[in-house]
A and B are shown apart, each in its own frame.
Chain A
Amino acid sequence: MFVRSRPTSSPVSTRRRERLGEALVARGFLTQQDLDRALEYQRRTGDRIGRILIALGLIRRRQLYHVLAELWGYPFVDLLQEPLDSRLARLFDPAELVQRRCFPVRRHGSEIFVATAEQPSAELEEFIRGVLGPVTVRPLVTTEWDIDYAIRTVFRDVVLDRAALGLYFRNPDESARQVLIGWQKAVLASVILGVILGFLFAPRVTAVALSALVNGTLFIFVIFHFIVAMAGARHEHEQAISDEEVKALRDDELPTYTVLVPVYREANVIQHLIENLRQLDYPPSKLEILLLIEEDDEETLVAAKAARPPETVTFIVVPNGMPKTKPKACNVGLLFARGEYLTIYDAEDRPEPDQLKKAVVAFRKGPPELVCVQAALNYYNATENLLTRMFTLEYSYWFDYVLTGLDRLGLPIPLGGTSNHFRVDRLRELGGWDPFNVTEDADLGIRAAAHGYRVGVINSTTWEEANNHVGNWIRQRSRWIKGYIQTVLVHTRHPVQLVKSVGLKNVLGFILLIGGAPFAFLSLIPLWSLTLIWLVARTHVFDILFPPFVLYISLFNLLIGNGVMIYLGMLAGFKRRRYQLIPFALFNPFYWLLHSIASYKAVWQLVTKPFYWEKTRHGLTRYLDPSAPTAAAAD
């Protein structure tokens, strides 16, 4: 099956001297003009000519490797056709095979045929011998796509296992696979029992205690949000990364960047995704885009192929298995990632073109412990309807002010769903994403902080599609709130250890931010119902719930806290000059009601289906046309 150009054991030295570009031109695969263009590009980026030719779409990958095989003097092998020796391959670690871009194909006595996408070297032979002992290594040449394919085929179960359970096996306490651990179950049971007994034997004291707890927590939550948002507002005009710093970056200094794009049943937005990714201002030869498509999602795979993406886009089929979540797909992508840095975009995302470069600058400026930088997310369909307006206000408030405030105050930053940029080595060290946590992004940000790493923010925006249907919105929000609860439960499993590792301030900040939101939304319906009943009926039944200090705090929450939260919502429109949205902040109380409904659904699902991923449907907006973002952003 091998395409034997030359005997496998002795490469021809004369051929090796021929340069790749010239060889491609000589064989009619490339025009001299295109070669000159690629060489000019190479002078700028310092990248390898082969990668450049593929990235610029000047040559097909397979053609390139055929010629490389000829130049290196080894046979080319098509791993899609070649029978693979699974028993042999499985003696190796798939992650190492990915990084070394090689795959052991078969054994003939003491000869091992190894496919490689890199020029064969003594190092390759040492690696193979390191695993198999004294063998003769026979190199074969293939594309890195073939290698990835072979690894996915042979190691399907290992890939699935690592993606789904890697974190859990490494440290079960960092995974949400177990919703509650022993002592958490005991505490929860004690609290429930205590409340029941309290209502039976001391109903008044119990009611007052609960009322004080709820109102006191809400009070602290409001104060915390106020401090964080105002800290963000105070530094609104400061730019983490200046345009000058981005311009000063030289292409040859840029590292390889991996972009993960997990998609599921999103055939309708694939074409737009490809277009949006084309806009990224980053040398294509240093860009590795991994489109993560679920195994059972044939429709999206077909659409992706039909979109004829550039050669820099690689399809990674995610093995089917539970849990079927985005973080699991990302973990598969992480296994195959070869970049120094990595980011995630959703299918409908429109990142600002210089975002990757800003992230690179941020990592270079930042301290060694900076493990991730988060870009802002915002919506291009803000003015579509009332819900998208409210959602945009909320997102603007969160990413433009709250995250900036957390960053300035040195508090842990929960990552947003996309546009978080990682150092790949650190991300692997952290164990990747937790597939059992449905807000794996928030969880990862906190886990990074717990490991002593830091997360920063950069002044770049990714434009997304705001949910424009209430049902779809509640599905998405219930998942987020469920994930927040999971995140709190996971990271409070060893509270003393957590305080020792990150400090009390950070722990309190994390609990208030991540735990405070579900708590506030769960409290909202009961508290507002009490207020409404009291107003309508003017009953004194509830008076026992409000002894003086509880009354003062609850009055503060009702009369000042709500006002402050509405007011902070107005902040959202200023940074991006989306002034038309600002008056809509007055509708926030109605929007919070939706949150409250979603929070109850979240709690119910946490009990019944803790790992179920409520899929948000994308591509529903009429603003899907990529020409829209500028107009929408300006409003």
Chain B
Amino acid sequence: MQSLSLSVSRSQFLLSCFCLVVSFFCLVLISIFTKPTQAAEANNPANYPSAWLEPAKTASQLDITSFSQSSILEGKGLPPVEQRLPDDPPVIVPVDSIGNYGGIAHIIADDRGMFIAAEGLFTISPDLKTILPNLAESWSYNDEGDQLTVTLRKGLKWSDGHPLTTEDILFSVNDLQLNTNFMPVTLPNFIGLELHAIDSWSFVINFPDPDPFFINYVAQSPEYFLLPKHYFREYHPDYTDPNLIAERMEELGFSSWSAFMTTSMQKRLFPDLVNHPTLSSFKIESLSPGLYSYQRNPYYFKVDPSGQQLPYIDAIEAQDVRENEVAVAKASTGQLDFAGVRLPTQDIPLLKLGEQGSGIKVNIWNRLHGSDLSIQANMNYGDGQKRELFSDVRFRRALSMAINRDEMNEIIYFGRGTPRQVTVVPGSDYFEPEFATAWAQYDVEAANLLLDEIGLHDVNGDGVRELPDGSPLTLTVEYVDTETPKQVSMELVVSYWNDVGLDARQRLIDRELQYSRAISGELEMTVWHADRTTDILFPINPDFWAPRKLAASLAMWSEWSRWYLTDGNLGEEPPPEIRQLQIWADELATTMDRDRRIELGKLLLAANAENVWTIGTVGLAPQPVVTSDRLKNVVEFGLWGWDIRYTMPYHPASWYFAQ
């Protein structure tokens, strides 16, 4: 009996040993073959607190009854913190730990929009799809989707203590956006809008057509909806004597009240800004040349789970740095507590080098740009042979196939980007893999064949192709080097085009010049970056895929856009296949049927894949985000881009300095 049991246990033992060994090998094999990529992790909402993915709980829901404030606010004659906070403040759960008050953050001025998140009626979830309440406590659409009812949180206050009510929203929309003296051409998203107040806390918006994505727009561009009426009424001719306003404008150095209003809406840095009430976590205190100081907003409306009023950090000093190199030098030597916008991908090794002793942490986020470059050939350019050429799909395909995207990825992005055309990000509902790869393979032979087919031959034997009539062909790409590595990319792209016999040249131009020439259709070719590629902005702004807007970023079809925007009075009537894009885009933004919406989005993207309206290079690229290693609660992986206002979903108000 004993021996039997022994033998059984021995065989069991051997068996279990065998199982262990096998499973160990399996584990090793699995871990070898399934290397998680950074991109996948960054896109995975599971990396963020679950509280971030749903509407923020309020203090009463979490039974938080006592609130505290930063010690620097004591003795300043302010009302007690309970009275400054809204009636039931939203609670922000930090990603790592509950913080402590104090400290001054040093940043560069261009990063202020990232360190101080824009506060709007709604906010954006890190899943890049969902809209969440923020200043508004709730909203609802009617079944047809043409009426939106919004309810504000009660007891919200501007940074001067004045309450935020529907009056402010009515003022911002009715008296500014819908006022033709202020906006001669109404912004597309405001056309036909009617806004009524129900009471001080709730209002109704009626749309001429269903507008299910209006909330996305409000979340992403809060500036258009939230100007403090009690302050700006002094500058609005409907409320104040125009002569008095003219006098004030002269004092402040503005040509008109609307210029003043626009400047303040864009939060540009100018002296009067210190007087403007804000809803953000920080409020500007002083502007001296080259240095902007911010103080915490004592009326900021969010708290942490222990009842501490946010933000944790007391002050910000933002230096005016206009050069990427200077920003990189400062960031890598630990002179900045947070930096991102001026840090080029190519400088990641240098920044990482700084990790070894400068007390910084280099997080590698992922840019949400579908492609870092959108190379555009103006299909409405002039009326000569170039227009014909740029309108020829074979030419655009040839330009695209001549580009060696894999080499660009190696040289500029350490192989960590994704060679891609201009299309939506992979996590999007509208994505199909072939949208990213169409005409994106590197094929010099095919490109040459297409160029030959069009009739661009090297007639005089100088190694450069001439136009079909024998006159010289030069492609001039004029652009601004901002946000993504455009200059180094174009250096490569130009050399790829030279390799297929095209005389291409690139030139950096001034931002204002690029803008004015882009919207007037005078740019031959230009470059921008392809954002608006997530489900937040794509359905309302499918800008790279249908001509419906005049912008610096969209220089390939300005006249067709002008025709669309002016109901056919100006610009040029687009050919039927382009008109079809506009019709699809209109329906995409208004349809309430989800399946139809996805079908339309895919139609637009498929049309671009087929026709290459704009040429992409490498997308989903690594973005360095440098923080001081004392700065806590900054997410390790995030997505970086305009669609989500860079840091909006990651709650910068919860960042704090460890003691």
Q: Do A and B bind each other?
A: no
Which residues does A use to contact B, with CB under 8 Å? none
